[in-house]
Structure 1
Amino acid sequence: MTATSNPGKAGRKNPYVGPRAFRSGEDLPARDFEIRELTDLLIAERIALLHSPSGAGKTSLIQAGVVPRLERGHPSWGEVPFLASRPLRVKTPARTGLAVRNRYIHSVALDLLPLRDEAEVAEMRFPEIIAAAMPDFEKYTPVLIFDQFEEILFLDPTDWDSQGVFFAELGEALQDNDIWVLFAMREDYMGGLDRYLHHIPGYLHATFRLDFLDTAAAKKAIIEPADKMGVKVTEEAADELVQRLRTIRVQSPANGVDLVKGPYVQPFQLQVVCRHLWRTLDKEKQGRFSTIDLDRVRRHADIAASLRRYYRDTVTEVAAVTGADELTMRDWFESNLVTAQGFRTQTLTGPASTDAGAGAVLSALQDAYLLRSDTRSGSVWYELAHDQLITPVLEDNRNWRESRLESWQKRARDWRTTRHRELLLAGDELRQVQRHASVRELTPDEQQFLRESIVAERDRSVIARARSAVSRLTGLVALLTLTIVILAILLMLD
């Protein structure tokens, strides 16, 4: 692996994409076999299903691998070239106030017919939508790409009727043998398709499983992108990174927590860590480095620090996009997704917010691979995407609170856990926080803390007034007693 460009050139592009998916035109490392096999399967079968565990890189495989290979063509595929649609999603809602015949079909119509008026396509059937989109595929064989197709099953797990209409009309449209289709979905939702497969030609018998990266592929995904930028990652450095990335925490009934080496590396974690490592070296060396060796990996490839940065950036971005309160979101991660013992747990509910629906927040967090979901008995459960995120979440939350929260907000958090009355606000501090609360939104816990503080302050005021009255009454009684004694003495002297 020799340098292929000027290693002293500052400002080189970071060759690792981080948590986002690879895009068309970008080189997807270590997936050549999967790209070739899936493309050939789709060409041969016409309708295929790509499935994988969450975070394995389905979208990257499609966008940076399968679609470019399809559109490059091959002599054995015939003279008519393929043209892939944009990724089709079933989750896009109709605009407010617009009645649509089928929410899932309408969402696909918005992707296939982006220039049409939304009201115009609201009542269109699937075959009509496909027919209307065909002129855009003139002189090409169309390939429809349904990405994150599990959404049709978990957006509303009870909506079997509308889901059935979607599959029936999609199957009707696919009777046209001039249309190729690739579905991509998380494999843990595949069972939910069973009741609809009879609508699809071929019953989706052609499937391809994308797994995580094994150790050899992970090394390749570390070494090759840097090599193309003129930077050599040594074998020892790559091995060390792989070993760190495949380390997982396993709960043992006898020994508590064990750190074990898993058989694979999650692509998104590899990209997050390598991007952070490159950024750190680029800043430290001002772009002038030609080698990433074992020493640099040991000093700078901090898995936890990289994941903390990823968690922090994701939560901040989701809060900005959805309008959710960042503190509420962070508290939800800590209290709903991590146990008191420091293990992953699952929850049915999303973070509460007055400005954003929990569904929008949960969807955005899943799109960023920070969360994953699991459907059981018609209920959707959410958990952290990986147990390596637990420590980064807890540490970044602690750092964020220390730097952002006022002292009374920290006391509110402690009070929520302990309910100790001595933590409640009083006097001038309480009045200052009340003025502060009138100009900003408080979290539900802060609101309750403030209410309890006000009640406690009123109780103290009542008690203080009562004590004052008792004190004055006691004084009067004492004075009266003294007066009586003096009068008695005077009478005795007389």
Structure 2
Amino acid sequence: MAIPTQTLVLDAQNPWPGLATYDEKSQDFFFGREEETEELLRLIRLSPLTVLYGKSGLGKSSLLQAGLFPKLRQEYFLPVYIRLNIATAETMPFIDQAAQWFREALKTSGAEYPDFEQNENLWCYLHRRDLEIWSQDNHLLTPIFVFDQFEEVFAGVHPDLPRPQVLCSDLANLIENKIPPLFTVDNADKRLIDKLDLLSQRYRVVLSFREDFLPAIKNWERDVPSLLKNWCQLKPMSRDRAIDAVSQSGAAIIAPSATSEIVDFVGNLDSNRLEGDTTIEPVLLSLCCYQLNVRRQNSKAPTIDVELLRKVGQEILEGYYANALASLPASVAKFIETKLIQGDRYRSSYPEKLAIEEGLITAKQLAELTDKHRLLRVDQQLGAPRIELIHDRLVSVVRKARDLRRFKTEVKRVWMFAMAIVALAMTFSGWQKWQEVNNTEQLLQTFEANSSRSPDLKIYQQEARANRIFLQIRDDRQRHAAGKIQEILAANNYLVPGIETLANGPSATEVRYFRNNEADQAQKIADLLLKEKIPGVSTKYIAGFENSKSIPNGQFEIWFAPDAFQ
């Protein structure tokens, strides 16, 4: 057993691991989590047990390996990274798995230490009266057992195995420093007891797990009373810390002007309107930076700049989504696209238990999308686990995939309808009906009438003919006035699919456009609004969508200010 390490060696020209975890060797490029590292170190000093939990995709494993481990070594702790394997728990109990990880850590540390005796378990070894582990520079080392992704013990337990609390009974004794039963019986080995210091605890333990497993793991509290007395909750990065992390890790290859734009792109943020939720998902940030760097290297450019982000930013996210679903059946994509987004701009969530029971997704498929690809997460909402996308930033990507899937379905349906007409025409009775349609124009009109029965296809036909404008109002009191603007825009050959209410927005009315060559068209829309006495209307370019397929050419947004209709 060995700590999982990066196959990609990070350096100044390749400072991001993408979806993979930062390992201890990558510490020089791991930034943005300094406060959490110091907090964990403080908690470890205070108590034998420390718990770290947080939602999936926030970088708990990276924080432990690249952030915490180097600090622990400076203070003469010996970090022992552990991933328990539930599949082998019957033949190798968890306490024996931990002992094997410990032996590997001792070997690779270069420390001086006594060997395990034959059949000696981990508890007995750690409680030897004469146990001393010396570093190469002659300092006593304190082992610290770091159980990463501990939720795996409580997830998908094999029906032939005992409950997790039973499987973890020896670990509970280790964590709470309880004397094992073998020393409390009448025929206990007195000679062995004399060699042990039963009350000492010269080691520390860290448990790290996904936040949605907190209720399940809390049930273990009866066996481990100190379980949640010393804890740290990992949260998404703030915008400022994300900018600092990108600028420091990519100092050699990223243009200073690009760092904030990359962070705002990943967070789906407007730099001129940063009230409300401005948090950043670290996994998406690392993915985007990694892929931008790959494209920089392919083009032999010296730096990652704003122009590159605008060209390929949305394409990176679309590729991420497609790759995550590439090996899964189409039903999984349909579940995400119909159940996990609300309208065109917001995430939704779906009960985990119900999704599995209804066959919308299997537990194995869900684990692949949460643990491997980090596309989804399971979040506790109102006491029940619900599945959701990891960030609102992915809604536009999922929406585009959904619309494309619907379009293909409609094209297929219309094609089959057309083939049916041809087949009908080739029959004798069909030929008679063909004669009744006395010219080609009538036939085309008949076909169009039938094909346009589909609302989705009708929308696509309209989109092909007109620019689209989405209207965003601040509250429902503006809806009536915005409806009149909708009619005016429609009279000027714009398609206005609907009006959405968003509580947050700019202080002045904005016409937003997504491609530089559409600036003139955006100004024409702004002029129409000014003509209707809407005050202070301006245009605003939103970067990152130049080559995007999720936002088609000719799409605009009007964000009305609170006083737009006063």
What TM-score, normalized by structure 1, do the two folds share? Answer: 0.60
Instruction: Work out which of the residue numbers 295, 302, 317 in structure 2 matches 1:280.
Output: 295
1:95-494 matches, within 5 Å, as: 100=90, 106=93, 109-110=96-97, 112-113=99-100, 130-131=122-123, 140-155=141-156, 162-174=163-175, 175=177, 177-200=201-224, 202-227=226-251, 230-234=252-256, 236-247=257-268, 262-284=277-299, 286=300, 288-289=301-302, 291-297=303-309, 299-300=310-311, 302=313, 304-316=314-326, 319=327, 324-325=328-329, 327-339=330-342, 343=346, 344-348=348-352, 358-367=362-371, 368-375=373-380, 380-396=385-401, 410=409
Distance in 1 (CA, whole Å) between partners of 2:125 and 2:386 is 37
Distance in 2 (CA, whole Å) between partners of 1:43 and 1:225 is 29
- What's the CA shift for 1:37? 2.8
1:45 aligns with 2:60: no
Could you report, residue by residue, the CA deviation over 1:91-116 in whole angstroms, capped at 9, with x for unpaired residues?
x324xxxx939xxx846744653799
**SS at 1:143 equivalent:** strand
1:87 aligns with 2:82: yes
Could you report, residue by residue, the CA deviation over 1:286-312 in whole angstroms, capped at 9, with x for unpaired residues?
2x41x4444444x3362x322212222
- What's the CA shift for 1:218? 0.8
- What's the CA shift for 1:378? 8.3
- What's the CA shift for 1:58? 0.9
Are 2:212 and 2:378, in contact at CA under 8 Å, matched by a contact in 1?
Answer: no
**SS at 2:226 equivalent:** helix
- What's the CA shift for 1:200? 2.3
2:195 — aligned with what? Answer: none
Distance in 1 (CA, whole Å) between partners of 2:98 and 2:296 is 41
Could you report, residue by residue, the CA deviation over 1:33-65 in whole angstroms, capped at 9, with x for unpaired residues?
322331232133221011223322111100111
Distance in 2 (CA, whole Å) between partners of 1:106 and 1:353 is 35
Distance in 1 (CA, whole Å) between partners of 2:255 and 2:160 is 51
**Residue identity matched to 2:81:** R
Distance in 1 (CA, whole Å) between partners of 2:90 and 2:381 is 29
Which of 1 and 2 has higher RCO (CA within 8 Å, sep 6+)? Answer: 1
**SS at 2:206 equivalent:** strand
Distance in 2 (CA, whole Å) between partners of 1:168 and 1:245 is 43
Are 1:171 and 1:200, in contact at CA under 8 Å, matched by a contact in 2?
Answer: yes
**SS at 2:50 equivalent:** strand
**SS at 2:24 equivalent:** coil
- What's the CA shift for 1:371? 1.1
2:551 — aligned with what? Answer: none
Could you report, residue by residue, the CA deviation over 1:147-179 in whole angstroms, capped at 9, with x for unpaired residues?
223344454699997233245432212206123
Change (3 A) 1:146 1:423: farther
**SS at 1:365 equivalent:** helix
1:17 — aligned with what? Answer: 17
Distance in 2 (CA, whole Å) between partners of 1:399 and 1:107 is 48
Are 1:345 and 1:383, in contact at CA under 8 Å, matched by a contact in 2?
Answer: yes
- What's the CA shift for 1:217? 1.0
Are 1:50 and 1:183, in contact at CA under 8 Å, matched by a contact in 2?
Answer: yes
Change (3 A) 1:414 1:261: farther
Distance in 1 (CA, whole Å) between partners of 2:267 and 2:68 is 27
Distance in 2 (CA, whole Å) between partners of 1:206 and 1:424 is 69
Change (3 A) 1:137 1:366: farther
2:33 — aligned with what? Answer: 31
Q: Which one has the bigger helix percentage?
A: 1
Distance in 2 (CA, whole Å) between partners of 1:333 and 1:238 is 31
Larger Rg: 1
Are 1:350 and 1:359, in contact at CA under 8 Å, matched by a contact in 2?
Answer: no
**Residue identity matched to 2:341:** V
Change (3 A) 1:399 1:22: farther
**SS at 1:363 equivalent:** helix
Distance in 1 (CA, whole Å) between partners of 2:400 and 2:246 is 27
Change (3 A) 1:138 1:57: same
Change (3 A) 1:44 1:332: same
**SS at 1:204 equivalent:** coil
- What's the CA shift for 1:386? 1.7
What is the RMSD of the two structures over their aligned residues, measured on CA atoms? 4.6
Change (3 A) 1:390 1:260: farther
Could you report, residue by residue, the CA deviation over 1:255-294 in whole angstroms, capped at 9, with x for unpaired residues?
xxx997623211112112222222222222x2x41x4444
2:66 — aligned with what? Answer: 64
- What's the CA shift for 1:340? 6.0
Are 1:85 and 1:142, in contact at CA under 8 Å, matched by a contact in 2?
Answer: yes
Percent of aligned pairs sharing the same letter:
22
Distance in 1 (CA, whole Å) between partners of 2:46 and 2:219 is 25
Distance in 2 (CA, whole Å) between partners of 1:145 and 1:115 is 10
Change (3 A) 1:398 1:22: farther
**Residue identity matched to 2:232:** F
Are 2:379 and 2:385, in contact at CA under 8 Å, matched by a contact in 1?
Answer: yes
**SS at 2:341 equivalent:** coil
Change (3 A) 1:66 1:137: farther
- What's the CA shift for 1:193? 3.9
Change (3 A) 1:64 1:425: farther
Change (3 A) 1:212 1:183: same
- What's the CA shift for 1:382? 1.8
